[in-house]
Amino acid sequence: MFIATLTALFSCTFADVVLRPEAFQLSRDDIGDFSDIAFGNANDVASIDPDTECRSIPGDPGWPSEGEWSRLNASIDGALLKPEPAAATCYPGPDYDQQRCRFLVETAASVRYFWIDDPLVALAEWTQGSTNTGHDFGGRSVGAGSLSIWVHHLKDFELLPEYTQGNYTGPAVRYGAGIEAWEMYNFMAANGITLVAPGGSTVGGAGGWLSSGGHCSITSTFGLGADQALSIEVVTADGRLVTADPETNTDLFWALRGGGGATYGIITSVIMKAYAPINLTTSSLALRTPSPISDIDTFWQAVSLYYRFCADILDAGGYGFSYIYPGADNSYRFTTSSQFPGKTPSEVRDFMQPLYDELDRIGVNVVNPTPTTRVFGSPRGGGGDRPVNTRYRSRLLPRENWEDDELFNRTMAAIREATEGGYENDFYFHGTLTSPTEGVAGWPGRDSAVIPAWRNNRMHAMLMDLQPVGVTAAEARDRDAMMQTYMQLLRDVSPGAGSYMNEGDPGEPNWQEAFYGEHYTRLLEIKRARDPWGLFWAPTTVGSEGWEVQPVDGYPNSQNGRLCRVTPLS
């Protein structure tokens, strides 16, 4: 059975650019006598087949016929796509093309929008059994045999200089779900405003980033992406376009801000807070062993002095973006940039000086550099983001860990032990430090489904697992078990905290608690009320637990397979 949702959205992609896509909506008249499409009625869920063991994939008797696909396509003005994976040109078969394949391997990454303009591409290859296809790091936007909605072309963008919503009156913007980060930066520059926007170039401004939180260098000052939303247009599973805001469809408005994408409905556009232009001033620090720091304990002490100092940076509205790379023979490299919205270079230099004094006291003589500054909303070129094979694993380390000396030391010891494991096992440490507290979230941000661990966060600590290409499924499972032991070190020092789903692992144990915290029960009620059919499904989204993908490749958490019930029907 098709639900009209899909149609409504596809027709948007063909909208005249002058009109907002939401102006084009499917009506009962458009459906005519095509009985495979219907608007849903949440009080009548009998239409879903309760006897279905697995969702249909091509070749199954339940899979729509060519004729049905054609009719669907006609009802949506021909917007239905059936793309082939780009990498098919590299494999034996009808699409094999040596020259095209060489282009993919050697050149495609440098062609600005090549990968992003391909509807089949997921930027994390491991979610596809490490074949060359996959933006979401956890495989939440891919699925074998699935019908997916491509919001890429919903590109409308509008400045609302004076907008009122409840308690908020001020500048805002409205943009479509296909807007990417780089387009937001260009819009900021062109209109002299600041928006909370993803750090990457091609991350969507109204998709996964927004719906699971969304951090960037100004989140300790203005809050998360989710905190900026004042109103959200969303197509729900029954096929209807609704507005969710602080007064209308308040359940959806709450859930869509932090409770995860891909499960309550399809966001078509958002209205987000905007701010006056602001400068972002950055101070960088790099430390290395064995030279210039010869003693490994001194290196780790210096790293922990920086992380300790980050509490002050965060409380001043700043952000810390750090990596620790283990190398051969006990060599380590630590890099970080400390970023301050609204401070001048000389203010930042003075602010950082106490850290340099402390480093000096332990024998690490580094010069407090002159910070660089730029307008946060500086123009950017897009593109460049391309498929990689990194598997992210995340822990949100709370404020308490910075407030008790003994616990802080244990936290640093856990980071050290985990990072040391990366030397032999090909992973490294990534610490993103930001404090999107309830205070900075403001209204209506503070009342949302954002995991409470974000409100209390100091460091979003990640192990960046460089999934080897070409390993067998059994080796991949062993590697996953090994990575879990290193992640456990971080969990053990932060009981009851959480993990950031957007840069987390779909194999995270007890993911309901880890990704959603105490909000899970309420979110599940909203999912069941809004999508009683279970139309929308992605791994680790709210309400996904009854079903799982059975990967044909056997790789842990691969999305390459059939979606079936976890507990077979008897």
Ligand X SMILES: *[C@@H]1O[C@H](CO)[C@@H](O)[C@H](O)[C@H]1NC(C)=O
Ligand Y SMILES: Cc1cc2nc3c(=O)[nH]c(=O)nc-3n(C[C@H](O)[C@H](O)[C@H](O)COP(=O)(O)OP(=O)(O)OC[C@H]3O[C@@H](n4cnc5c(N)ncnc54)[C@H](O)[C@@H]3O)c2cc1C
Based on its alpha-carbon atoms, the radius of gyration of the chain, rounded to whole angstroms, reads 24
Residue of 25, 337, 409, 484 interacting with ligand X (CB under 6 A): 409
Could you tell which of ligand Y, ligand X, none binds residue 442, using a CB distance below 5 to 8 A set by kind? none
Does residue 130 contact residue 469 with C-beta atoms inside 8 Å? yes
Does residue 292 contact residue 263 with C-beta atoms inside 8 Å? no
Q: Looking at beta carbons only, is 208 or 421 nearer to ligand Y?
A: 208
CA distances from residue 394 to 465, 516, 555 in whole angstroms, order as listed? 11, 13, 20
Could you tell which of ligand Y, ligand X, none binds residue 156, using a CB distance below 5 to 8 A set by kind? none
CB of 382 vs ligand Y, minimal distance in Å: 11
Q: Which residue type sits at 190?
A: A
Task: Tell me how far apart the alpha carbons of residues 218 and 485 are, in angstroms, rounded to a whole number.
Answer: 33
Q: Which residue type sits at 403?
A: E
- Any bridge partners for residue 169, and if so which? 164
Could you tell which of ligand X, ligand Y, none binds residue 223, using a CB distance below 5 to 8 A set by kind? none
- DSSP string computed for 118-153: -TT--SBGGGGTT-S----TTSTT--TT------TT
**Which residue's structure tokens are 């995860």?**
260
Could you tell which of ligand Y, ligand X, none binds residue 167, using a CB distance below 5 to 8 A set by kind? ligand X
Neighbours of 8 (CB within 10 A): 25
Task: Tell me how far apart the alpha carbons of residues 175 and 165 are, in angstroms, rounded to a whole number.
Answer: 16
Q: For residue 139, is it left (φ>0), alpha (ψ between -120 and 50) or beta?
A: left
Q: Which residue is nearest to ligand X (CB)?
A: 78
CB of 372 vs ligand Y, minimal distance in Å: 19
By CB under 6 A, tell whether 192 contacts ligand X: no
CA distances from residue 131 to 390, 506, 559 in whole angstroms, order as listed? 13, 18, 12
Give the per-residue contact string, 166-185, with ligand X (x = CB under 6 A; - = no): xx------------------
Give the per-residue contact string, 485-524, with ligand X (x = CB under 6 A; - = no): ----------------------------------------
CB of 50 vs ligand X, minimal distance in Å: 30
CB of 521 vs ligand X, minimal distance in Å: 23
Rounded to a whole number of angstroms, the distance between the first and last alpha carbons of the chain is 24
Task: Tell me how far apart the alpha carbons of residues 263 and 534 are, in angstroms, rounded to a whole number.
Answer: 8
CB of 489 vs ligand X, minimal distance in Å: 17
DSSP tag of 275: B
Does residue 310 contact residue 433 with C-beta atoms inside 8 Å? yes
- Say how far residue 129 (Cα) sits from the centre of its chain: 20
Q: Looking at beta carbons only, is 175 or 351 nearer to ligand Y?
A: 175
Using CB under 6 A, list all residues that contact ligand Y.
Answer: 123, 135-137, 140-141, 151, 177, 198-200, 203-204, 206-209, 211, 214-216, 261-262, 266-267, 385, 502-503, 538
Q: Looking at beta carbons only, is 219 or 368 nearer to ligand Y?
A: 219
CB of 278 vs ligand Y, minimal distance in Å: 17
Q: For residue 223, is it left (φ>0), alpha (ψ between -120 and 50) or beta?
A: left
By CB under 6 A, tell whether 73 contacts ligand X: yes
Q: Looking at beta carbons only, is 378 or 485 nearer to ligand X?
A: 378
Give the per-residue contact string, 231-270, with ligand X (x = CB under 6 A; - = no): ---------------x------------------------
Does residue 227 contact residue 450 with C-beta atoms inside 8 Å? yes
Give the per-residue contact string, 14-53, with ligand X (x = CB under 6 A; - = no): ----------------------------------------
By CB under 6 A, tell whether 298 contacts ligand X: no
Q: Looking at beta carbons only, is 345 or 382 nearer to ligand X?
A: 345
Q: Which residues contribute to the site for ligand X (CB under 6 A)? A: 73, 78, 80-82, 166-167, 246, 277-279, 301, 373, 405-406, 409, 443
